[in-house]
Structure 1
Amino acid sequence: MAKVCAVSGKRPMSGNKRSHANNKSRRRWEPNLQWKRIWVPSEGRWVRMRISMHALRTIGKIGYDAAMAKGSKQRGS
C-alpha cells in the first residue's frame, strides 16, 4: 500500500541523515498516516480512509467536502 494521504496527497520525502560528525546517509521522512472513520454529512455515512494528521485537522476546521475539494485542487486532479 502506498504511503500517501487520501486527502492532502502528502507523500514520503527523502533526504540526508546527518550525524554529529557530518556524515551523510540517505533516509526517508514518512507522513503521519492513520486509519480514521470520517462522518460525511452530505452522504450521511461513515467513510474509512487513511489520512495524515494534517488532513484530519483540516477536515475538523473546514469540513470533509471542502477539504476534499481543496486537496484535489492542490493535486491538480
Structure 2
Amino acid sequence: MGKKCQITGKTYNNGYAVSHSHHRTKKKQHVNLQKKKIWSSKQNRWITIVLSTKALKSLNQMKISI
C-alpha cells in the first residue's frame, strides 16, 4: 500500500529544499499518516485504516462510524 490516505486520498506534495546559497533540490513533503482501528457498525467488526491526521480530526468532530 502506498503512502496515501484511504479516506481523503491525500498524497505527498512536491517542493524544494533550499540551501543557504539558494541552491534548490527537489523533495517530497509526505502527508502525516496514522493507522487507526475504527468500529464498523455495518460490518460489526473493527477495521484498521490508514488515514491522515486531518481526516482523523474530521472523523472525531463528526463522530462518524464506518
Fold match by TM threshold 0.5: yes
SS at match of 1:15: strand
Q: CA RMSD in A?
A: 1.5
TM-score by length of 2: 0.83
Equivalence for 1:56? 56
> Greater helix share, 1 or 2?
1
Equivalence for 1:70? none
* Mapped pair 1:3 → 2:3: yes
**Runs in 1 of length 4+ with deviation above 2 angstroms?**
40-45
The Cα offsets for residues 4-23 of structure 1, whole Å up to 9 and x where unpaired, read as 10011110111111122211
SS at match of 2:56: helix
Q: Matched residue pairs, number?
A: 65
TM-score by length of 1: 0.73
SS at match of 1:60: helix
> Greater strand share, 1 or 2?
2
- 1:50 and 1:26 map into 2 onto residues whose CA distance is 26
What's the CA shift for 1:57?
Answer: 0.5
| Percentage of pairs with the same residue | 29
Equivalence for 1:33? 33
- Which structure 1 residue ranges, 5 or more long, are not aligned? 66-77
* Structure 1 pair 61–9 and aligned structure 2 pair: CA distance change class (3 A): same
